[in-house]
Chains A and B, each alone.
Chain A
Amino acid sequence: MSTAVTTGAEGRARVAARRPRLGRFRSAKAWFLLPAVIWTCGFTLFPLFYALWLSLQQSRGMGRPLEFAGLKNYGRLFGDDRVWGALGFTLGYAAVTVAIQIVLGLGLALLVNREFRLRGLVRTLLLLPLFATPVGLGFLGRIIYADAGPINVALTAIFGSGVPWMSNPWSARIAVALLDIWQWTPFCFLILLAGLQSIPDELYEAARLDTNRRFEMLWHITLPLLRPLIALTVLLRLVEALKIIDIPFALTAGGPGRANETFSIFIYRTAFTGFDIGYASAASFLFLVVVLVVVNAFILFGRFRTVWQAGD
């Protein structure tokens, strides 16, 4: 194909076809991508295969040489309650927090999607939690949930007793989840607000000929139109939520016991405090498979090809 170089639409391609020195341009295309491709191969693909190799090895303590173990590490995974506990907790945690974030974010977006004074300011203030350093947030959580902290003081004033946030497994989980929800609801809010603003007013005006009920409009117009965007938000959030380590690490160090041990914390501990490198690698591959299944299920159902092609 003689116009392989051109930018943009086919019609414009003919202009470019008259240009001389096609070969030079043809190679330039590859040069632009090359640094990124090399970097990715060296720092993402290579470590990935390295991890795969490590998962077939057995370590006998830090500094000792590795021994080939075959699939033994993978076999061990199946009988290990700690693995399935961490995996189940991570999946459940991600599902619950993401669901709450989406619902709250959608609610907020609907609240702000009106004309009112100071709307820009409100939007800005609502997005503040988003970029707050998660570790700093977890650390701050230590004093927010402390016995003398504001939440327990308020609870004591109202109900007569506070909650021992950090010592009970379930309340510690809720404490972590609340911080997570506080931080990431603005993410869903911002994306869904952008989606709401792209819905043309005419649709609502047309619908008002049929019904005046807000709920029906929300259900039959807003939500169906937002669906691809909600799917995208869920996907992006799920991927991040499954990776979570910083908030639980800084707030409770994964505890009490193993109540807040997410899979990332489990891998970190197995590899760097237990020095069981082969086993941790095998566990990380189990984790990778789980994440891939979740992501691919979404990509299959969500029709994302159009989403990321929009700019072309």
Chain B
Amino acid sequence: MNVAGRLPPFLRLLWLLGLLLALTIALAPLLWAIRNSLMTLEDTYKPLFIPFLQFMPTLETWSFELLEQSELSTALGRSLVVAFCHLLVVIPIGTLAGFALGRFRYRRPDNFNITLWFLSQRFLPPAVVIIPYLLMMRAACGPIALPFGLWLPQPLQLVCVLEGDRNLLNTLSAITLAHVTFNLPFVILIMRSIFAELPREIEEAAKVDGASDLQIFRKIALPLAVPGLVAATLITFAFSWNEFLFALILSGPDSQTLPLLIGSGEGVRSLDFPSVSVRALVAILPPVVLAVLTQQWIVRGLTLGAVKG
């Protein structure tokens, strides 16, 4: 859209400068981190920027942090397990509820009130529930811990370190459960807006032919919603990857995930520019890549389905 015709030359130059400035600021920290991660420590202090011409890029720090030292790769693996396992739970539950809210008509409470009820959880500061979460996870084998164990997906039970007292603290399961909880309203609202937009004619035809709601959901609505579902999955994955507060309170030495390792600043001197850069990039880059992959859905995702983007 060309808002008001062509710009006069002076404004055009200004516009170009503004755009370049914005791009520079948006990319500078990332590029600077990448530059540092490819350098030796002494080189980082020198005003060198162009690889191969000014300095020889080296993957030394990357291989040291990721291959020789185990703590970064261990934390990375844990973050992946948590994010993946939380998806296994949150996506099915959230998609079912999203389909219901987008397709059925409820009364008392009506669709909007149910939607708002789920939405309101996004507004709840997580700091309010961290203490109960800690105590709940610590309640060994009580009426609370028992259903947790039954709910856990199989791979998770293998990874989580259940000590003798079957306490969920210091296990990846605890973090996974928390991540499911705070991402659930997000998935519901997104999937609701995606299902509500699908054409209804096919579903109605299927209904006339006697298909049940579950059949309509599985065989008709879900296949049509796959692109949106993939986007919601990737964005949720990124949220889980980025989450810090629950990981902070629920994890211990055996379940330290990536944000925690990074946030605590353990194991690296803060003036070791290349190492800090590599660690920061390992945390930052995966969700950034996901953001690019899902960008056509991102506005809808971030506004919880309110804006189509």
Contacts and interface: CB of A to CB of B under 8 A. Distances in A.
A193 B23 CA distance: 16
Q: Give the secondary structure class of A's interface.
A: helix
A220 interface: no
A111 B15 contact: yes
Interface in B108-143: 111-112, 114-119, 121-136
Contacts of A168: none
Contact of A217 (B4, B102, B180, B258): B4
Given A126-B23, A127-B298, A280-B131, A36 B291 contact: no
Contact of B32 (A6, A144, A217, A292): A144
Given A134-B242, A136-B262, A54 B131 contact: yes
Nearest to A133: B283
Nearest to A265: B127
A84 interface: no
B245 A268 contact: yes
Contacts of A138: 263
A271 B135 CA distance: 11
Contact of A131 (B47, B101, B287): B287
B68 interface: no
A111 B244 contact: no
A40 interface: yes
Interface in A117-169: 122-140, 142-144, 146, 148, 150, 153
A135 B302 contact: no
Nearest to A128: B288
A39 interface: yes
B105 A139 contact: no
A308 B265 contact: no
A37 to B, nearest CB: 8
Contact of B305 (A47, A134, A142, A308): A308
A104 B37 CA distance: 30
A79 to B, nearest CB: 21
Interface residues of B, number: 120
B288 A131 contact: yes
A2 to B, nearest CB: 13
B247 to A, nearest CB: 9
| Interface magnitude class on chain A | 35 or more
Interface string A278-300: 00110011011001100100000
Contact of B136 (A15, A50, A243, A310): A50
A64 interface: no
A277 B131 contact: yes
Contacts of A277: 131
Given A12-B200, A131-B291, A288 B23 contact: no
A194 B184 contact: no
30 contacts: A5-B105, A7-B204, A12-B200, A12-B204, A36-B96, A36-B97, A36-B188, A39-B184, A40-B118, A47-B132, A48-B128, A48-B132, A124-B292, A129-B26, A131-B291, A135-B259, A135-B260, A136-B259, A136-B262, A139-B283, A142-B276, A146-B271, A153-B47, A201-B2, A246-B263, A264-B125, A277-B131, A288-B125, A305-B112, A308-B116
Counting from the closest, the 3 A-B pairs by CB-CB distance are A136-B283, A311-B196, A32-B100
Given A29-B104, A143-B273, 15 more contacts: A35-B96, A39-B93, A40-B185, A46-B132, A114-B2, A130-B298, A131-B288, A139-B283, A142-B270, A239-B123, A268-B130, A268-B249, A287-B125, A308-B189, A308-B306
